[in-house]
Amino acid sequence: MHLILTGATGLVGSAVLSHMLSLPAGQIDRISILTRRPVPMADGHPHVNVITHGDFNSYPPELLEQLKGAEGCVWAVGVSVSMVSREGPTDGSGHREYINITVDYPVAAAKAFSTLSDSFKFVYVSSKSRFPLLLMSAISLRVTDKPGVFSPSFVPMKAQAESSLLALPSTYPSLRPFVLRPGYVDASPQPTLSSFVAQRPEPFIKKLIPVLGPIFRTLYPARTAPTPELGRVLCELAMGNGEPVEGDDIEGEGRIVGNPAMRRMAGL
């Protein structure tokens, strides 16, 4: 099987890549990583092809040729609102750069990748809590297109990305989209991941993690996404048959997986 991964130098993408690399020989024959920067975790793995790609809105024929035959993708590209430029035009609902990364990139990729196989699984990593939003996330991490006064500013854009991706199969019938909404992404079970993550947390968040992380894991386990299990479930969705999944905390006709459902799928 040939899979595509993006965001491999971020926390979630590193967790996915770690799981992919841990699988027995033959389960995944080839991994294509689209990235703007080097991916140290991929070094020394001959079945991993790291492709430097600068424009995630564009997929020229020569790039698609390298990806030909891929059957699934885990889209883990993401950015905090606090880390994008506040300059430039907006569309009335947020800053253009954040919208481009959060909505335009995955939609453009899903359309392009739908040509790679007869049943292409596109797994989009949606909202995940950050520590400034910790208490809000403990109450609710649901993505909604009707945010309230306390809703974090990324929520409407995540919802737009989700709805846009889930609507694509009507035009791109080979596409099998999935959305996974992780809660607090907990890297404590995999401390070595930090050495591979290029984007470090803001200093004040870094100080809060050792203090609030254990509290959150204890009080709100259903809203916690340990990186080993999160990486495994994301990978399994991309490797699966593309059919809708069932169970509690599954929405979007079986294509939106909430954090409790992810934990259940992982056996937690």
Tokens 């479930």, residue located: 233
Q: pLDDT tens for residues 209-268?
A: 667 777 778 887 888 999 999 999 999 999 999 999 999 999 999 999 999 999 999 999
DSSP lists the bridge partners of residue 17 as none
Round to whole Å and give the CA distance between 238 and 110.
13
Q: pLDDT tens for residues 144-163?
A: 454 444 444 556 778 889 99
Q: Strands 2-6, 30-35: parallel, antiparallel or unpaired by DSSP?
A: parallel
Amino acid identity at 66: Q
Distances, alpha carbon 230 to alpha carbons 13, 48, 133, 253, in Å = 10, 21, 20, 21
Task: Tell me what pLDDT residue 93 has.
Answer: 45
Question: What backbone phi and psi angles, to 5 degrees, belong to 160?
Answer: -65, -40
Which has more confidence, 193 or 200? 193
Non-local CB neighbours of 233 within 8 Å, separated by 6+ positions: 180, 257, 262, 265, 266
Average pLDDT over residues 193-212: 69
| 67 contacts 116 by C-beta, under 8 angstroms | yes
Average pLDDT, the chain: 84
DSSP conformational letter for 93: S
Which has more confidence, 124 or 84? 124
Q: Is the pLDDT of residue 26 over 80?
A: yes
| 4 contacts 64 by C-beta, under 8 angstroms | no
Task: Tell me what pLDDT residue 141 has.
Answer: 41
Selection from 227, 22, 244 nearest residue 125 by Cα:
227
Task: List the structure tokens of 128.
Answer: 């995940």
Specify the DSSP element, H or E, that contains 49.
strand 48-52
Which has more confidence, 184 or 170? 170
In the chain, % of residues over pLDDT 90: 63
Amino acid identity at 162: E
Name which of 18-32, 102-116, 163-177, 209-223 the model is least confident about: 209-223
Average pLDDT over residues 81-109: 69
Task: Tell me what pLDDT residue 215 has.
Answer: 77
Q: How many CA atoms lie within 13 A of 2 on its CB side?
A: 13
